[in-house]
Amino acid sequence: MFETKKTWLWVGGLALWCLLLAAALSSNRILSLSVDSSYHLQVMEVVRHAFIIPLQGHEWMAEMAYYPKLSHRLAGLFATLGWQHLNALLMAGVLSAAVVWVCLFEQARRVSLTFLALGLVLSLINIKITRGAFGGELIDNFFFPQIVGEAVNLIALTIAVVLLGRSRRDFVLFAVAAVAFCGCFHLVPTLQLAGALMAMLGVTWLREVLRTRKFEPIGLAGLIAIPAAIVLNPFFSKMKFIAGNNGSVNLGVDLSLEALAGVSALLVGLSAWVLLVHLLRPADDPEHEAADTSALMFAALGAACGAAMLAQYAVLKLTGDGSIYAVLKHSFGVFSMLAFVVPLWGLTVLGVRGVSAEEMLADRRLQAGVALTVVAQTVVMVALFQRPSVMDVPRVNAIMEDIRQVRVTRGLHGDAAMFSAEVPTPIVTYMGTIAMLQSAHGANVISLIEDGRPDRAGDVPYIVTLAGDAFDKPGCRSGAPIGLVVVVAGPCLEPPSLRFKQSASGVPYLREGWSAPELGGVWADGKRSTVEIPIADWQRSLTSPVLEVAAFAFLPMPDSKRTVIVSVPGGAQERFVFDRQKAVNHGFVVPLSPEALKGPTLRVTIESPDAATPKSLGLGEDTRMLGAGLEAMRIVGAGQP
């Protein structure tokens, strides 16, 4: 009974230590410049008060509507407890990274003090060279839901290590439940958890079968039930949609995808060696049972992490499903596990049977092994997170709260409003627009990532900006300031466009060659489509008129390219080649002659000579000839802001 109480005291103490460490490191220290921080802040804002996202919110949530929500509920809990918006996300992420590291080092000290020290040294080298350690993504990419999923993964494996030597049935039941639960956080750590649990079960089950020559059905049932818990998870198929996202990832070294695949293959190979040695070892040693089981866990997790990365790499190369960015982002745990598997492999080859930290230091009263684990974890976490802040987090939090008040008190959100200001970084304007104002992800919103300014401010009924910004023009304010921000009327800033999304102002002017308008715009159905837009009297008096066209293209594969040509009668053609590297949307500017504006309307032709049907590309039954898409169009004077 005393041992049970003491165990719970240590678990509670470590949990409290992780919480305090996370609170210190998440307080205005770091903030990623990645767009992922915007997306996850957006989801957290929604799920703070509801587990599900309403159907009417799917347009502005984009692919995040499909995301598992429990990691965001955790961040929402911290926001409810008092952490500000960004710090709540940081708190959830840093706490999860702390849990991951304390679990890894807690298991490492069970193998040997030598292994604990080597794991610490290689982890610090990993942080210095690649920044690929658990937690590094919080700084460089802010992919926090995967970090939270990794924490669930490691907690589950730590419990599984205890159950493995006690009851095969309990291990199988727990493994299935843990995989199903982890799938509600993120799919990649769920795949890693399932792979590790299957490797641990498979090696111990097969080893027993070889020794006793008796077949145990519960082991085989577990090897079937664990992957079934992934396939039957409703997020499994939906998350495939998100795996094709694009963005940026910052490793400390310039590493190609092929080199990363090589590192992953090395991790799988070294882990497989350790697993094979464990399988063929002639007899158990009760004195080293804890060390052997922990070593088995590290080898199983290493093999699972490497295999998960190689599987996604193979899918990308063979089918084109996903992106280089997604594979890099999802595989950052490969480096962390390499730091633990390399010394484990060395100890295995040398035949070293680990002496635990407690046994070596022989001081049970101080529990020196646990103390060493806490010290090692602290060193790693501080090395990861004690960096200068890349943004003024308190000020950004204050701006976010004022933008949120615009939505809450004045009801401006969705298509009705965007946030744009010159002073904060572009990612802040994007964050305020999609997270706080819950705007739809159109090209006008995406343009905020470039310079923090919308391409066509006049297309938005209201612009939320900082007081004194260039958009804060006299006579354009709508209502009194709200804290640091003011609301201005978009059409007061510049002429609005005709827009071609569903039920928008430009739809009546579509002529031949178009499919039905959708939430983001309208697809051309064919290689040639036309629009006939009206010409206002004030446009006829423009000295240097131009036609601005906001267009996008059908790019289903990572290497897809589409040529789009925009032309008007008697004018030059404007041609642009879309691809995922340069642009998936583009603003055409077509010079207009005075003669072109003499009639009541202007006929605009949009051509896409290399259009293709999704059906011909094996992407379903859609038979529309897709090449170009149209979002907005307007006639203004050259140089119009």
Percent of the chain surpassing pLDDT 70: 90
With beta carbons less than 8 A apart as the criterion, state whether 628 and 529 touch.
yes
Q: Which two tokens stand for residue 479?
A: 């209502």
In this predicted structure, what is the pLDDT of residue 246?
44
Identify the band that residue 401 occupies on the pLDDT scale cut at 50, 70 and 90: very high
Bigger pLDDT: 215 or 199? 199
**Predicted confidence (pLDDT) at residue 60 exceeds the cutoff of 70:** no
**d(C-alpha 271, C-alpha 293), whole Å:** 14
Bigger pLDDT: 373 or 467? 467
The full set of domains in the chain, from first to last, is 2-30+67-252+354-385 (no CATH), 403-493 (no CATH), 498-637 (2.60.120)
Instruction: List, for residues 555-586, the tens digit of each pLDDT value.
Output: 887 778 899 999 998 877 899 998 877 777 78
In this predicted structure, what is the pLDDT of residue 244?
47
In this predicted structure, what is the pLDDT of residue 245?
47
Find the DSSP H helices in 460-557: 490-493, 537-540
DSSP state string for 126-170: HHHHT--STTHHHHHT--HHHHHHHHHHHHHHHHHHHHHTT-HHH
Instruction: List, for residues 468-512, the tens digit of each pLDDT value.
Output: 999 999 899 999 999 999 999 998 988 888 989 888 889 999 999
Instruction: List, for residues 27-36, the tens digit of each pLDDT value.
Output: 877 777 888 8
In this predicted structure, what is the pLDDT of residue 2?
42
Q: What is the mean pLDDT of residues 29-55?
A: 77
Q: What is the mean pLDDT of residues 127-142?
A: 79
**Predicted confidence (pLDDT) at residue 322 exceeds the cutoff of 70:** no
**Predicted confidence (pLDDT) at residue 3 exceeds the cutoff of 90:** no
pTM of the full predicted structure?
Answer: 0.81
**Predicted confidence (pLDDT) at residue 57 exceeds the cutoff of 60:** no
Find the DSSP H helices in 386-485: 393-410, 426-431, 443-446, 448-451
With beta carbons less than 8 A apart as the criterion, state whether 102 and 377 touch.
yes
Q: What is the mean pLDDT of residues 221-226?
A: 92
Amino acid at 444: N
In this predicted structure, what is the pLDDT of residue 1?
37
Percent of the chain surpassing pLDDT 90: 41
Q: Calculate the average pLDDT of the chain.
A: 85
**Predicted confidence (pLDDT) at residue 216 exceeds the cutoff of 50:** yes
Identify the band that residue 248 occupies on the pLDDT scale cut at 50, 70 and 90: very low
Q: What is the DSSP-derived secondary structure letter of residue 73?
A: H
Which residues, 6 or more positions from 569, have their beta carbon under 8 angstroms from its beta carbon? Answer: 596, 603
In this predicted structure, what is the pLDDT of residue 360?
60
**Predicted confidence (pLDDT) at residue 543 exceeds the cutoff of 90:** no
Which residues, 6 or more positions from 15, have their beta carbon under 8 angstroms from its beta carbon? Answer: none
In this predicted structure, what is the pLDDT of residue 269?
96
Helix (H) or strand (E) holding 579: strand 574-579
Instruction: List, for residues 326-361, the tens digit of each pLDDT value.
Output: 777 777 788 889 999 999 999 888 776 666 665 666
In this predicted structure, what is the pLDDT of residue 38?
86
